[in-house]
Amino acid sequence: MFKKILIANRGEIACRVAATARRLGIQTVAVYSEADANARHVMSCDEAVAIGPAAAKESYLNGARIIDAALATGAQAIHPGYGFLSENEAFAVACAKAGLVFIGPPASAIRAMGSKSAAKSLMEKAGVPLVPGYHGENQDADFLQKEADKIGYPVLLKASAGGGGKGMRIVESSADFKAALASCQREAINSFGDDRVLLEKYLQRPRHIEIQVFADSFGDCVSLFERDCSVQRRHQKVLEEAPAPGMTAERRQAMSDAAIAAAKAVSYVGAGTVEFIANQDGSFYFMEMNTRLQVEHPVTEMVTGTDLVAWQLQVAFGLPLPKKQHELTLHGHAIEARIYAENPEKGFLPSIGSLQYLRTPQAVHFETGASVRIDSGVREGDAISPFYDPMIAKLIVWGEDREQALSRMAQALAEFQVVGLATNVAFLSRLIQCGPFATADLDTGLIERYHDVLFPPVQPAPQAALALAVATLLHSESSTEPDPWAQTSGWRMNGQWQRGLQFSNDAGVAELSLQYLPEGVALRDGPETLSLQDARFDGAAVALRLNGKAVLGSVVREQEFFHVFHGGQHWPLRWRDPIAHAGEAEVEGGRLTAPMPGKIVALLVAAGAEVVQGTPLLIMEAMKMEHTINAPADGTVAELLYAVGDQVAEGAPLLSFSMTEAA
């Protein structure tokens, strides 16, 4: 087996590969950018080499630097993880030239599957079913529009070199085609340096089902069965599970056969995934083959009892597959949820900041048959920067059946607590518990279709959450004021002192009145008076009695916010501190600010333009995605403050805007 490998990646996958290598007694070398000097993945390895500035192009995508690092440290092989250089043919070739083993498929297989268009032509020849569409060389806009008209709308535009849902555009009608094409091409060239596109019929209510294949260099190729990745937002996977609900043995066999045929058509070696799009009736079409390990591989590991990274290392070393097809069986059900630093309420916009507080559910290593696994590349205190994918962790659960896996997921999500940036944890909780997911009525449009259920209006905080916040506030003031919780008897001679407290969230303001009593405090909430007693604190954990009943939770203070975690929910409550806000002026209106650091890619209006509410004004690119800034109301664009190509900081005013006065 290899003695030392270099891991050409960061974050959770780098940590994941390092863990398996350690188990197998293989030394590991990490690489890191300037932004990652203290990153968890660096600490997970035996050695580490700095490879350049934060921007991925200058570090994690710099193949030459990475190869130099491998040679300098005496590594024999390079594991590329996913993303970055994992599907880069030139990098695979360069590794071989340098005498290093690339832990992945042969360069020829990466090339063959690298372009979605070319891969489709190849699959067509191998007899694998394809979605109706156009995947030829002609990229003339008028020609493509005619092809789209022929296919019939809605049509899906995809970047040929695409991945990660980037560049994809649904086109509803011929009239919208050219604008969508331009936008798709712009994102494609930015993300992949290649603006070629292909067209597909946009299927209604499809499911995304993929087959994990594994091949060795002796010509053996097995299927580790399917994963259902239908639950997506912006064409990106959010939940993945194995096996696919409703899958029959015959269909599994047919999909596995097609996947193995696809792998064999390109003389595949290593871990690969063949993605299919399936109709509700079960018929399926080839979408693409990902020539690498997938983010969602843990669900397959859990139901097949394998370690796919160990398989990768063995196969790359020239050993045969650890198991034959007949030795592979499915056991139980696994679900993965991707926990992102993002704001589901704001169109899943990535959220940048630091993980000021991070508590995760108890995880036990999956090989011991554990039911909860967390793959993460960050720790409390780490930053989620604009440079890389905003994933915080993957939460993977296993159960004897889907129902058990689901309830374990619900519980684990309730224990996942983050303060410092927006996350999708609460959204994921609602998602896994919503009717269609719970009953496995799956398709790729589930999130959009159940928007109202998944995005309910914010509720006022329950009294228990308010009580936890109040107790924490009083405790934090105890250095300047007597701590009511540290007193054994009446602590204020004049016992009846009252104080008003305001806590707000998006549902409104809770106006409380606090009354100090010998035995604790009383909290008046409207007509109700609640007694608050026996508060105890242990780090962020708080226990108290509210009207005699035990209330447990955690409270984390972040400036004027009290983040209360109670009953599996997160209540960010803003405390209106009367002293801090004295004399504060009204916020200045009329400016539109950058939701995150990024680059201006298009200005859609000129200064002086009169627009109606919702008019797209400019497009920013941040974290490799385009974000359109729309007019907040009817009005006039007074001034544009940046030009195309300018880099803008988070919160920077982008343009000044004056609203039309109501008549």
Residues designated catalytic:
292
Nearest approach, Cβ of residue 131 and ligand ADP (Å): 5
Nearest approach, Cβ of residue 258 and ligand ADP (Å): 16
Residue 355 φ/ψ, nearest 5 degrees? -80, 85
Give the integer Cα–Cα distance in Å for 46 and 7: 11
Among 52, 80, 83, 164, binds ligand ADP (CB under 6 A): 164
- Rounded to whole angstroms, what are the CA distances from 172 to 157, 279, 627? 11, 20, 20
Nearer to ligand ADP by C-beta: 95 or 188?
Answer: 188
Give the integer Cα–Cα distance in Å for 635 and 502: 35
At 71, is the secondary structure helix, strand, or coil?
Answer: helix
Nearest approach, Cβ of residue 427 and ligand ADP (Å): 18
Residue 283 φ/ψ, nearest 5 degrees? -65, 145
Q: Which two tokens stand for residue 167?
A: 């560049």
Long-range CB contact pairs, 496-505, < 8 A, 24+: 501/470, 501/473, 501/575, 502/575, 502/576, 503/461, 503/466, 503/469, 503/562, 503/573, 503/574, 503/575, 503/576, 504/573, 504/574, 504/576, 505/458, 505/460, 505/461, 505/571, 505/572, 505/573, 505/574
**Residues 288-327 contacting ligand ADP, CB under 6 A:** 288
Q: Contact between 120 and ligand ADP (CB under 6 A)?
A: no
Give the integer Cα–Cα distance in Å for 365 and 384: 25
**Residues 375-414 contacting ligand ADP, CB under 6 A:** none
Nearest approach, Cβ of residue 165 and ligand ADP (Å): 4
Stretch near ligand ADP under the rule CB under 6 A, chosen from 18-26, 195-203, 252-260, 593-601 = 195-203
Among 10, 41, 196, 208, binds ligand ADP (CB under 6 A): 208
Stretch near ligand ADP under the rule CB under 6 A, chosen from 200-208, 421-429, 489-497, 604-612 = 200-208
Nearest approach, Cβ of residue 288 and ligand ADP (Å): 5
Nearer to ligand ADP by C-beta: 69 or 159?
Answer: 159
Nearer to ligand ADP by C-beta: 208 or 475?
Answer: 208
Give the integer Cα–Cα distance in Å for 278 and 207: 5
**Residues 534-593 contacting ligand ADP, CB under 6 A:** none
Polymer length of the chain: 663
Nearest approach, Cβ of residue 471 and ligand ADP (Å): 46
Among 53, 136, 163, 282, binds ligand ADP (CB under 6 A): 163
Q: Which two tokens stand for residue 194?
A: 């290649």
Q: Which two tokens stand for residue 438?
A: 């719970």
Question: Strands of 133-134's sheet, edge to edge?
Answer: 133-134, 197-201, 155-159, 169-171
- Rounded to 5°, the CA angle 127-130-133 comes to 135
Nearer to ligand ADP by C-beta: 131 or 514?
Answer: 131
Among 6, 122, 277, 316, binds ligand ADP (CB under 6 A): 277
Nearer to ligand ADP by C-beta: 150 or 499?
Answer: 150
Report yes or no: 241 and 299 within 8 Å, Cβ to Cβ: yes
Nearest approach, Cβ of residue 48 and ligand ADP (Å): 31
Nearest approach, Cβ of residue 173 and ligand ADP (Å): 16
Q: Contact between 206 and ligand ADP (CB under 6 A)?
A: yes
What sign for the dihedral angle of Cα 465, 424, 459, 572? positive
Stretch near ligand ADP under the rule CB under 6 A, chosen from 197-205, 376-384, 515-523, 570-578 = 197-205
Contact pattern for ligand ADP over residues 168 through 187, marking x by CB under 6 A: x-------------------
Residue 191 φ/ψ, nearest 5 degrees? -90, -35
Residue with tokens 């720790």: 379
Among 128, 203, 447, 501, binds ligand ADP (CB under 6 A): 203
* Cβ neighbours of residue 592 closer than 8 Å, sequence gap 6 or more: 617, 629, 632, 653, 654, 655, 657
Among 32, 60, 202, 491, binds ligand ADP (CB under 6 A): 202
Nearest approach, Cβ of residue 11 and ligand ADP (Å): 19
Nearer to ligand ADP by C-beta: 294 or 343?
Answer: 294
Q: Which two tokens stand for residue 566?
A: 């109670």
Nearer to ligand ADP by C-beta: 204 or 325?
Answer: 204
* Preceding amide of 243 cis, omega within 30: yes
118 sits in which H/E element: helix 116-126
Contact pattern for ligand ADP over residues 228 through 247, marking x by CB under 6 A: ----x--x------------
Nearest approach, Cβ of residue 65 and ligand ADP (Å): 27
The site for ligand ADP, by CB under 6 A, has a size of 22
H/E/C letters for each residue in 302-324? HHHCCCHHHHHHHHHCCCCCCCC
Among 131, 266, 316, 446, binds ligand ADP (CB under 6 A): 131
Among 112, 128, 274, 287, binds ligand ADP (CB under 6 A): 287
Nearer to ligand ADP by C-beta: 131 or 655?
Answer: 131
Which is nearest to 268 in space by CA: 200, 219, 203? 219
HSE toward the beta carbon, residue 443, CA cutoff 13 A: 13
* Cβ neighbours of residue 209 closer than 8 Å, sequence gap 6 or more: 226, 227, 228, 229, 230, 244, 247, 255, 276, 277, 278, 284
Nearer to ligand ADP by C-beta: 17 or 199?
Answer: 199
Among 87, 216, 275, 626, binds ligand ADP (CB under 6 A): 275
Integer Rg of the chain from CA? 27
DSSP string computed for 395-457: EEEEESSHHHHHHHHHHHHHT-EEESS--SHHHHHHHHHSHHHHTT---TTHHHHTHHHHSPP
Stretch near ligand ADP under the rule CB under 6 A, chosen from 30-38, 101-109, 157-165, 350-358 = 157-165
Nearest approach, Cβ of residue 290 and ligand ADP (Å): 7
State which amino acid sits at residue 658. S
Stretch near ligand ADP under the rule CB under 6 A, chosen from 145-153, 165-173, 186-194, 599-607 = 165-173
Among 136, 165, 305, 653, binds ligand ADP (CB under 6 A): 165
Nearest approach, Cβ of residue 249 and ligand ADP (Å): 24
Nearer to ligand ADP by C-beta: 5 or 203?
Answer: 203
Contact pattern for ligand ADP over residues 416 through 455, marking x by CB under 6 A: ----------------------------x-----------
Nearest approach, Cβ of residue 203 and ligand ADP (Å): 4
- Rounded to whole angstroms, what are the CA distances from 34 to 31, 53, 98? 10, 5, 25
Among 105, 106, 162, 484, binds ligand ADP (CB under 6 A): 162
Report yes or no: 185 and 194 within 8 Å, Cβ to Cβ: no
Among 195, 200, 228, 241, binds ligand ADP (CB under 6 A): 200
Nearer to ligand ADP by C-beta: 10 or 120?
Answer: 120
Binding site for ligand ADP (CB under 6 A): 131, 156, 158, 162-166, 168, 200-203, 206, 208, 232, 235, 275, 277, 287-288, 444
